[in-house]
Amino acid sequence: MRLEGKTAIIMGAGQSPGQGMGNGRATALLFAREGARVLCVDRDPGSAAETAELIAAEGGEAATFEADVTREAEVAASVNECTRRWGRLDILHNNVGISVAGGDAEVTEITEEAFDRVMTVNLRGTVMACKHAIPVMREQRSGAIVNISSIAAIECYPWVAYKASKMGMVAFTRQIAIQNAEYGIRANVILPGVMDTPMAVDTRARAWNLPREEVAAERDARVPLGGKMGTAWDVAYAALYLASDEARFVTGVELPVDGGTGCRIG
């Protein structure tokens, strides 16, 4: 019960269609197992409801809220719903992100529309969520923000908008960490590597018209640690640590969860 008595918002608690489990759903489930009351926020209310139902089936407490992170008013409303329902907000977990599905491409091929969409979803959505959560946490004099970037921020990565947005996430997390430390608010960012999730594997398989097994095998081959992709649970357990009081003296940190991929750099 490492999060007993705490409330958490998971932005992106649903998941893309495909095999396995996404990072947001796994994190929502794990937080609930550890005692948190979880508001499952997603633009797809049906997918968020599936996550909440899984939590309820295990005896946890969860609610759902429909919000698109590209619409600030909806993001603000989700924060208001959390505080209305439970009276406080202890953890904000920003998990929403797109790349291939948003039309991302190499710099010589990227369109204005695709660049703006990926940056809006990946970076602006997180900024707006923090904009509305931080005042609540400042008033409480406590809170933990856990953002999801990607090892793509620092490794060689082909598509320009995703990389730019995820490096922006790192810089933004550092900024809010130092600017809010005096209020007892911590902010950290996770850099997942090559993961076996519906968004990472199934979305690419659909976009490239390839068998899922072929996409998965290519990704497995890139992982130094055991030659196998990580899972959503690897990200969820990292998020649990950063959200918990065990990390009470940890802020402004970039935590790779990448099976050693980052060791190839430098």
Highest CATH level, class, for 7-193+231-249: alpha beta
Query: Looking up tokens 């921020």, which residue turns up?
Result: 153
Contact between residue 39 and residue 63 where contact means Cβ atoms under 8 Å apart: yes
Pairing mode, strands 61-66 and 185-192 = unpaired
> Interior CA angle at 119 toward 111 and 195, to 5°?
105
Q: Is 162 a catalytic residue?
A: yes
Reported as a pLDDT band with limits 50, 70 and 90, residue 266 is low
Tell me the pLDDT tens digit for each residue of 150-165: 999 999 999 999 999 9
Q: What are phi and psi of 2, to 5 degrees?
A: -75, -15
Contact between residue 68 and residue 74 where contact means Cβ atoms under 8 Å apart: yes
Query: Looking up tokens 């550890």, which residue turns up?
Result: 34
Provide the CB-side half-sphere exposure for 154 (13 A, CA).
Answer: 22
Q: What are phi and psi of 257, to 5 degrees?
A: -125, 80
Distance CA 58, CA 40 (A): 15
Average pLDDT of the residues of the chain: 96
What is the reported pLDDT for 149?
98
Model confidence, pTM: 0.95
Tell me the pLDDT tens digit for each residue of 14-47: 998 888 899 999 999 999 999 999 999 999 999 9
230, pLDDT greater than 90: yes
| Catalytic residue (one of 162, 183, 237, 241) | 162
Question: Which whole number is the average pLDDT over 80-86?
Answer: 98
